[in-house]
Amino acid sequence: MARTSYTLEDVARAAGVSPSTVSRVINGTARVRPGKLKAVLEAIERLGYQPNLMAKGLAQGKSLTVGVMVQEIASPFYGEMIKGIEQGFDGTLYHPVFSTGHWRAEQEREALRVLSARQIDALIVLDGLVSEEYLLGLARKMPLVLFGRRVRGLEHNTLLVDNLQGAYLGTRHLVELGHTQIVHIAGPAFHLDAKSRLEGYRKALEEAGIPFEPERVIEGDYVEPSGMLAVESLLARRIPFTAIFAANDQMAYGARLALYRRGIRVPEDVSLVGFDDLPGSSYMTPPLTTVRQPTLELGREAARAVLLMLEGQPYEPPLFNTRLIVRESTAMLRHSRVALPGRWS
């Protein structure tokens, strides 16, 4: 295993100039005589020289690396965001480095520790439970972009989605189809999004003059099994319903399976609405009506925000809107098929 790669000095020697000149050519830091410029460029080409980013980082006190703390790397939702973040850094000198928190404050801190040891220049935090003080402390040290949390003092670093409006749209869609017995499978109570979506559901009901009943809200944890359990619980408690609004698509998938197991048809017997519009939702059987959240764009915007902050430019985060995607899991309520608890349990 000979020398693994060339150094700036090698290039300088090959081009017959000083290392500083080579550096200047590479970074465009200063003008150099055309002749030398050409010689340097050729030498770089010929040797296949690649700058060592660690050395560059050491010298400049930068790492050209942006840390991303994500909760789960293999979830369809975060997957899209990660993809967006990657795209956002594409073509720049910066590169994202990921670390996972698994929704546990302790692991999140560990993840952040790992990232900071790598001298990240900026940080993107997707959801999580780590304390606000901790985040505020980080924000003092480097550009920080937050998603899914609201922290006082970090308003300008936070990407917001109008979850309340989205949930309102989803629920109103069911109301417009004639449904009145609409249950809600909510997300975890400590989750900001979940709270907003519950509010949106409530708002749509109230607007339609349908009484809000707490027993019609089941709290899940944003993954499939909880959606399934929610439906089973509803059925076991003989709570009648003709429509379900799930706080995210994954729980809607779970709910859909529970209904299938009981022979309850979607959408003939029960209409189902999700939230997120995951890539798989258009392939659910039947394709899922859901509230689209611009996940990919959110990731791209997070990267864009970081890049701007890194340049010292001001950043004003936009409010992201959601939109209803009507597919085939929702249908007009037909009275002959209203859910009869007795029939299902």
Residues lying near DNA in the complex (CB under 7 A) are found at 7-9, 17-21, 23-24, 26-27, 29-33, 35-37, 51-52, 55-56, 58-61
Beta carbon of residue 3, minimum distance to DNA (angstroms, whole number):
7
Pairwise CA distance, residues 164 & 187, whole Å = 13
Verify binding: residue 313, a copy of itself, rule CB under 8 A.
Answer: no
Residue 113, C-beta contacts closer than 8 angstroms, at least 6 positions apart: none
Verify binding: residue 257, a copy of itself, rule CB under 8 A.
Answer: yes
Beta carbon of residue 120, minimum distance to a copy of itself (angstroms, whole number):
10
Which CB sits closer to DNA, 10 or 72?
A: 10
Q: Which does 8 bind (CB under 5 to 8 A by kind): a copy of itself, DNA, none?
A: DNA
Verify binding: residue 4, a copy of itself, rule CB under 8 A.
Answer: yes
Q: Which does 190 bind (CB under 5 to 8 A by kind): DNA, a copy of itself, none?
A: none
Q: Which does 116 bind (CB under 5 to 8 A by kind): a copy of itself, DNA, none?
A: a copy of itself
Report the SS3 class of residue 207.
Answer: helix
Report the SS3 class of residue 178.
Answer: coil
The residue type of 234 is L
Contact 173, 150 (CB under 8 A): no
Beta carbon of residue 61, minimum distance to DNA (angstroms, whole number):
6
* Tokens matching residue 33: 């005589």
Instruction: Kindly report the length of the chain.
Output: 345
DSSP-derived pairing of the beta strands 323-325 and 289-292: antiparallel
What are 48's strand-pairing partners? none
Which CB sits closer to DNA, 20 or 345?
A: 20
Verify binding: residue 285, a copy of itself, rule CB under 8 A.
Answer: yes
Phi, psi (degrees; rounded to nearest 5) at 24: -65, -40
Which CB sits closer to DNA, 54 or 332?
A: 54
Report the SS3 class of residue 161.
Answer: strand
Verify binding: residue 27, a copy of itself, rule CB under 8 A.
Answer: no
* CB neighbour burial string for 71-82, b if at least 16 within 10 angstroms, e if fewer: bbeebbbbbbbb
Residues making contact with a copy of itself (CB under 8 A): 1, 4-5, 50-55, 57-58, 63, 72-76, 79-80, 82-83, 86, 95, 97-100, 113-114, 116-119, 140-142, 224, 253-254, 256-257, 260, 279-280, 283-287
